[in-house]
């Protein structure tokens, strides 16, 4: 099977390597020629995935028309670049191959999920989202990983599951595309909150409480949008939430940690080379929750931390001193 | 209110300090006179909770009859010592005070939960279990912590919630005593599994997948015994599971890590001063799951790792290569 992976960030690169080692023909598309040249020359993406050697037969390209010829197209760009990337692709011709989105966020312009955005712009009905606890740094080192592939085309789903799975990369199927994409978006916000707690010097108890109450508000949000329980408590919900909130690899957790130490968002953005999706997700989810009147105290606190310059310590004290309750209420 | 805390291990000591600083009169009971003397002299439990200074008015005792005079009795002994400890207490007289169990395990002899064991031996109907992500090392440093207090006596529950809560120690009430105690027992087994993964050098993806699938089997087990969803996905279920599986403070995770590196159980037990409840829980839960035919692949793997000398790497490979499935099935 011929795969094309669009986007040569850390996850796109690790995914291209995975699929290539699985025995498929793979083109990895990079937007910037300098990056493509560097990867092709070194067989390593030193900027985004240092230390991971890429297979010799993995092809690097900057030509999007090559992507359109693939049997399966994987898009691994940040969510804010999805709209423009897909627009460039459809300018080059009709897309008939199934598409897998690896992006974990929502479209800012219309608050669309990534698969919605891809479906409405390409007209494709074979769009999937792949999510779960899958830090690129670890998939690139073949650490055992389990993910969810979500989509509504069951036939292609089974086919892709077979083509992607390896003894170190387990793929579960799901029909809950909405759930998988919303969970992937919200978990990054909660990761900023746990990062802030780490930055304040709080410990594992606080972090575990934030993850638990974070899942509770992800559940409240999810119920409104029809998210299934198996997704909330599965790999792309709870699983990715736990990985992102506890991993040193998580960019979103790292952003929170710096905020917790008192740095400003401007200062953090100024020296980040990679995108922390949670920064944008916090704004979009804040608006959606407000519209639908969904109680999300942690996400709301992250929004205020990012956009209203509220101090992290103040937010934690505020959350801890809410009136005592019964669990589950 | 006069509290007595039975058991001067790390959690008993941290809990006694917490309640004392909250303004209550507290007796901390230690079984061994040498330990009691050391704590009283240094105002620090250097053996089990080093670095945490205890309040001057916290009283240390080895006299169990003092405990029986308290308004609230907290029992913080390992689960395997619960039966003999309670037996010693009731020899000294009838217990009319409410009892809070901090132990996280089951009774080996009759597979009773701790509150069941206490109720049947003391005749008390005011028995509570306190659980959640609450590593003693962090509560001892006033890191923000949220726990669940579970019991069937609502009036006493509310009273205890008020008497225990501080701005850094949030107490949620629950009526699901069975659920809180079973979750507290199973999470230690899953923590051994994630520790083994860490010991094998696997990363955050693997750990997050184990936690997620671990919660799934905790849920399957819980359903059979009537455990409520709010408990499974709350602080004493998911919350404590996450804390125990990711914390450097967790003794159960540490046991797993050593097993993952290839050490034998005998060798690990030989130099442990504190109890890792998961070692015993793995055996009891294994038997219960077998009786009831509950599918628990991770707990089963931990059992084989502990008691059948199966290699950790073999178990992980086995779990990763099970036939591909849909999530939620």
pLDDT at B324: 55
Cα(B193)–Cα(B213) distance, rounded to whole angstroms?
11
Instruction: Dump pLDDT digits (tens) for B73-131.
Output: 999 999 999 999 999 999 999 999 999 999 999 999 999 999 999 999 999 999 999 99
Q: Which residues face A148 on adjacent strands?
A: A131, A172
Cα(A252)–Cα(A240) distance, rounded to whole angstroms?
12
Is A187 an active-site residue?
yes
Percent pLDDT > 70 in chain A is: 98
Q: Which residues contact B17 (CB under 8 A, 6 or more apart)?
A: B52, B54, B55, B58, B140
pLDDT beyond 70 at A323: no
Cα(B84)–Cα(B65) distance, rounded to whole angstroms?
15
Active site residues of B: 187
Reported confidence tier of residue A313, pLDDT bands at 50, 70, 90: confident
pLDDT beyond 80 at B320: no
pLDDT at A324: 55
Cα(B132)–Cα(B30) distance, rounded to whole angstroms?
24
CB atoms near residue B273 (< 10 Å): 8
Helices (H), chain A: 10-21, 33-42, 64-67, 79-91, 114-122, 136-139, 154-164, 177-199, 204-224, 229-232, 240-246, 251-260, 265-270, 277-292, 297-307, 312-320
Q: Enumerate the residues of chain B whose CB falls inside 8 A of the CB of residue A139.
A: 205
Distance from CA of B37 to the nearest CA of A (A): 30
pLDDT beyond 90 at A259: yes
Instruction: Tell me the whole-structure pTM to 2 decimals.
Output: 0.94
Which among B315, B215, B328, B187 has a CA at the least distance from the CA of A239? B215
Angle at alpha carbon of residue B229, lines to B301 and B180, rounded to 5°? 70
Distance from CA of B228 to the nearest CA of A (A): 10
Residues A177-189 have a mean pLDDT of 98
Residue to test with chain B: of A14, A205, A212, A320, most B Cβ within 10 A: A205
Residues B259-263 have a mean pLDDT of 94
**pLDDT, averaged across chain B:** 95
Residue pair B39/B5 in contact by the 8 Å Cβ criterion:
no
pLDDT beyond 70 at B225: yes
pLDDT beyond 90 at A249: no
SS3 of A292, please? helix
pLDDT beyond 90 at A37: yes
Handedness of CA A270, A190, A174, B290 (dihedral sign): positive
Distance from CA of A88 to the nearest CA of B (A): 33
Least confident of A241-245, A324-328, B44-48, B96-100: A324-328
pLDDT beyond 90 at B47: yes
| Cβ contact, residue pair A212, B133, below 8 Å | yes
Which among A58, A57, A109 has a CA at the least distance from the CA of A82? A109
Percent pLDDT > 90 in chain B is: 91
Residues A35-54 have a mean pLDDT of 97
Residue from the list A167, A216, A249 with its beta carbon closest to the beta carbon of B204: A249
| Cβ contact, residue pair A170, B144, below 8 Å | no
pLDDT at B235: 95
Cα(B102)–Cα(A232) distance, rounded to whole angstroms?
30
Identify the closest residue of chain B to A210 by CA–CA distance: B239
Cα(first)–Cα(last) distance of chain A, in Å? 50
Q: Enumerate the residues of chain B whose CB falls inside 8 A of the CB of residue A141.
A: 203
Distance from CA of B242 to the nearest CA of A (A): 6
Residue from the list B134, B172, B209 with its beta carbon closest to the beta carbon of A146: B209
Residues A171-177 have a mean pLDDT of 96
For B309, the token pair is: 């000398």
Residues B42-49 have a mean pLDDT of 97
Cα(A167)–Cα(B321) distance, rounded to whole angstroms?
6
For A171, the token pair is: 């793929």
| Residue B158 falls in which region: left (phi positive, over 0), alpha (psi -120 to 50) or beta | alpha
SS3 of A251, please? helix
Residue from the list B208, B320, B327 with its beta carbon closest to the beta carbon of A240: B208
Instruction: Dump pLDDT digits (tens) for A49-76.
Output: 999 999 999 999 999 999 999 999 999 9
Cα(A124)–Cα(A117) distance, rounded to whole angstroms?
10
pLDDT beyond 60 at A305: yes
Identify the closest residue of chain B to A165 by CA–CA distance: B324
For A185, the token pair is: 């978006």
Q: Enumerate the residues of chain A whose CB falls inside 8 A of the CB of residue B228.
A: 328
pLDDT at A329: 56
Residues B119-145 have a mean pLDDT of 96
pLDDT at B323: 60
pLDDT at B300: 95
């Amino acid at each position: 099977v011929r795969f094309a992976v669009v986007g040569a960030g850390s996850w796109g690169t690790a995914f291209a390597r995975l699929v290539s080692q699985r025995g498929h023909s793979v083109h990895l598309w990079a937007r910037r020629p300098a990056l493509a040249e560097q990867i092709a020359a070194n067989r390593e993406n030193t900027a985004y995935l240092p230390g991971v050697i890429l297979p010799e037969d993995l092809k690097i390209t900057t030509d999007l028309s090559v992507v359109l010829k693939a049997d399966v197209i994987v898009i691994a760009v940040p969510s804010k670049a999805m709209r423009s990337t897909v627009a460039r692709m459809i300018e080059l011709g009709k897309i008939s191959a199934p598409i897998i989105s690896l992006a974990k966020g929502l479209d800012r312009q219309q608050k669309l999920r990534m698969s919605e955005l891809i479906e409405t712009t390409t007209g494709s009905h074979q769009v999937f989202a792949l999510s779960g606890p899958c830090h690129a740094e670890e998939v690139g080192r073949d650490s055992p990983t389990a993910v969810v592939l979500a989509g509504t085309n069951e036939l292609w789903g089974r086919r892709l599951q077979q083509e992607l799975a390896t003894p170190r990369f387990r793929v579960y199927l799901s029909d809950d595309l909405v759930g998988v994409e919303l969970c992937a978006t919200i978990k990054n916000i909660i990761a900023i909150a746990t990062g802030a707690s780490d930055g304040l010097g709080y410990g594992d108890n606080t972090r575990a409480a934030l993850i638990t109450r974070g899942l509770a508000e992800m559940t409240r949000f999810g119920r409104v949008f029809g998210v299934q329980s198996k997704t909330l408590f599965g790999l792309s919900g709870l699983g990715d939430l736990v990985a992102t909130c506890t991993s040193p690899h998580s960019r979103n957790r790292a952003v929170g940690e710096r905020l917790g130490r008192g740095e400003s968002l401007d200062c953090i953005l100024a020296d980040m080379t990679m995108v922390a999706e949670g920064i944008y997700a916090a704004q979009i989810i804040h608006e959606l929750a407000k519209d639908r009147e969904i109680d999300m105290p942690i996400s709301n606190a992250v929004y205020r931390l990012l956009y209203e310059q509220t101090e992290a310590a103040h937010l934690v004290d505020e959350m801890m001193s809410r009136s005592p309750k019964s669990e589950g209420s």
